[in-house]
Amino acid sequence: MTKKHISFQLNGRPVDALVEPRELLVHVIREQLGLTGTHIGCETSHCGACTIDLNGDSVKACTVLAMQADGGDVMTVEGLADNGALHPLQEAFMQEHGLQCGFCTPGMLIRAYRFLKKNPNPSDEEIRTGMSGNLCRCTGYQNIIKAVKAAAEKMQSA
């Protein structure tokens, strides 16, 4: 299959890749570009483990073609911390015990990141709805909600 050349911003840095038109973005990020923080849990856009930020929206990278990212701006969990300083969401997940096995965590964090940009001061109910595209089998969500709230408060007061 002929490969196409794509370029996009990944966590603030330009990257290039040669991809087959059918290749999924999640595979290109994980396997070609070597960032394995973005996980695969279902490949059918149900679980959200593969959530990334693409051009200012949360998207599930398992159902996006790599070609669709051409020229775009992508952020993954690896781009959350700023020069080694953890993002308030990362801090809050740790403080509030918002993770167990950690498999859903990158997707949760990157979804919460976009969610809080759109709704900086959410209620519990709004967090439940806003995050409902991301599944977790371990935590029962309660501490994730706490973590998102705590991060929101911290970001507001900053």
Partner 1 sequence: MSTSTEKLEREEKLEGIGCSRKRKEDPRFIQGKGNYVDDVKLPGTLFADIVRSPYAHARIKSINKDKALAVPGVHAVLTAADLKPLNLHWMPTLAGDVQAVLADEKVHFQYQEVAVVIADNRYIAADAVDLVEVEYEALPVLVDPHKAMDADAPILREDIKEKADDGKGAHKHPNHIFTWEVGDDEATTQAFNAADVVVTEKMYYPRVHPSPLETCGCVASFDKVKSHLTLYITSQAPHIVRTVVSLLSGIPESKVRVISPDIGGGFGNKVGVYPGYVTAIVASIVLGRPVKWIEDRMEHLSTTAWARDYHMTGALAADKEGRIKALRVNVLADHGAFNSHAQPTKWPAGLFSICTGSYDIPVAHAKVEGVYTNKAPGGVAYRCSFRVTEAVYVIERMMDILAQKLGIDKAEIRRRNFVKPEQFPYHTALGWELDSGDYPKALQKVLEAVDYDGLRREQQEKRARGELMGIGLVTFTEIVGAGPSKACDILGVGMFESAEIRVHPTGSVVARMGTLSTGQGHQTTYAQIIATELGLPSEDIQIEEGDTDTAPYGLGTYGSRSTPVGGAATAMAARKIRDKAARIAAHLLEVSADDLDWEVDRFKVKGVPGQEKTMKEVAWAAYNNVPDGMEMGLEATNYYDPPNFTYPFGAYLCVIDIDKCTGEAKVRRFYALDDCGTRINPMIIEGQIHGGLTEGFAVAMGQQMPFDEQGNLLGNTFMDYFIPTFVETPFWETDYTVTPSPHHPLGAKGVAESPHVGSIPCFTSAIVDAFSHLGVTHMDMPHNAYRVWRKIHELGLDKHE
Smallest separation, CB 29 to ligand FES (Å)? 12
**Residue 127 binding partner 1, by CB under 8 A:** yes
Tell me if 62 contacts ligand FES by CB under 6 A.
Answer: yes
β-bridge partners, 10: 13, 74
Cα-based distances in Å from 16 to 63, 64, 128, 149: 20, 17, 36, 37
Instruction: Report the nearest approach of partner 1 to the CB of residue 75 (Å).
Output: 11
Instruction: Provide the mask over 81-120, with x wherever binding to ligand FES is found by CB under 6 A and - wherever it is not.
Output: ------------------xxxxxxx---------------
Output the smallest distance, CB 137 to ligand FES, in A: 4
Chain centre to alpha carbon of residue 14: 18
Site for ligand FES in 16-35 (CB under 6 A): none
3-state secondary structure of 89: helix
The 10 Å Cβ neighbour count of residue 15 is 17
Please pick, from the candidates 10, 136, 148, 150, the single residue that binds ligand FES as defined by CB under 6 A: 136
Spatial contact of 103 and 37, defined as CB atoms under 8 Å apart: no
Structure tokens of 129?
């709805």
What is d(CA 53, CA 158) in angstroms, rounded to the nearest whole number? Answer: 23
Token reading at 25: 């973005």
Q: Which two three-digit tokens encode residue 79? A: 């781009």
Asked if 79 touches ligand FES (CB under 6 A), the answer is no
Q: Does 121 bind partner 1 (CB under 8 A)?
A: no
Out of 25, 28, 69, 105, which residue is the one contacting partner 1 (CB under 8 A)?
A: 105
Coil, helix or strand at residue 149:
helix
Q: Which stretch binds partner 1 (CB under 8 A): 2-10, 37-45, 63-71, 112-120?
A: 37-45
Summarize as ranges the residues that interact with ligand FES (CB under 6 A): 40-43, 45-50, 60, 62, 99-105, 136-139
